[in-house]
Structure 1
Amino acid sequence: MSGQGSSSHWAAAERRRVAEQHARIVAEQQQNAIDAEVRQTRRELLAQVRRRGGAMAVPIFDDYFLSIADWPAVVKAVLDAAFTLGNAAACDLQVCEPGDVLRMAAHRGFPADFLAYFDTVAPTQATACAAALSTRAPVYVDDVTSSPIFDGQETRTVVLDAGTRSVQSHPLLGPSGRVLGVLSFHYPRLAPARTRTALIATGAAHALAALRSGG
């Protein structure tokens, strides 16, 4: 009986080993397929950027650039992409700090009054960037003068005085889904196609995540 018991125990252990090995192989195959899809998506994004924005828009999608670039270089690349590919009249990059407060980290094209007013933004403030932070989704304001986001709020006057008529704000999500910051594009007219700013935001999120992880 003891021999039969040992044999049964060995057979059960062998079945578990084979099942675990099979599960590992399947998991590796699935991960390889996911990695291949991610690489293909990145290649397609990069091709779109090259077609639409030229060389200046490419660095935020380039892993080698991100591995050697410091914060000022990455910020410049993000803002360059916003202007060359996104055709923005003004652009700002905010980083998310404890308490879900957005702090102005980089900007281009804004008057001093605007920058002072929006130096920090609370998640409940009446702005497109705060809405993007709270909803973790892009916020598109086609017309600041009629958007309910700004109804009855001082922020409408501040934004209009800065020359902004439309704005597109994108939350920049890290690999874990945490909001790293918000990238906003400002226009004195109706904004261009939303796919352009979404494309840049994808690259900006990748760049910020790379900086946070050390390259």
Structure 2
Amino acid sequence: MTSERRIVLATRNAHKVQELRTILADVLEQTGRTLVSVTDFPDVEDVVESGVTFAANATLKAEAVSAATGLPALADDSGLAVDVLGGSPGVFSARWSGVNGDGKDRANNALLMAQLGDVPDEHRGAGFVCAAALSVPGLETVVREGSVRGTLAHEPRGSGGFGYDPLLVMPDGRTLAEHAPEEKHAISHRGRAFRELAGDLVRLLARPGPENTQTLP
């Protein structure tokens, strides 16, 4: 069994890395693995998210990073689906405003609020969707999905989370950004998707025992 015990997370988003280390803490302990960011591999190029579904984009990223590093890789693609926008921004959520860099989240939120400015509360239904993919060299990629539904606030609220978290209001009246991290992880689309994937992680990457001599990267 190789001494390499890393799983590479195919993202450069520090918020997402921290979230997933928390969400997968028990699984990482069970498998004896360490979750690291693709930023630890400066030669790995960014993957073009050319898929038209969350599952396709998550698969593209996980497989590309796994192939480039020779290690198991995790990736997710997620976004906000707004009912009155026909499911948009969807896979374009991260680039909805066309702005990159530190001001991207703020610009995305501002554009969406402007687009929905006259939409009444009863028609502001929306939800986050997440597809999580695990790619292990030599094995078939596994993809699991999770979602959460709510309504859109008229202005951002809360200082937690990232992306559109300050806009999606949960049934308790708080946005995801107003939830403590452990509360958010328990109900969020990303938390649900990666908990669905947890069994696959344990099954494919568990510590070897006398009955399991398979060599995994």
**Which structure carries more helix by proportion?**
1
Q: TM-score, normalised by structure 2?
A: 0.30
Q: TM-score, normalised by structure 1?
A: 0.30
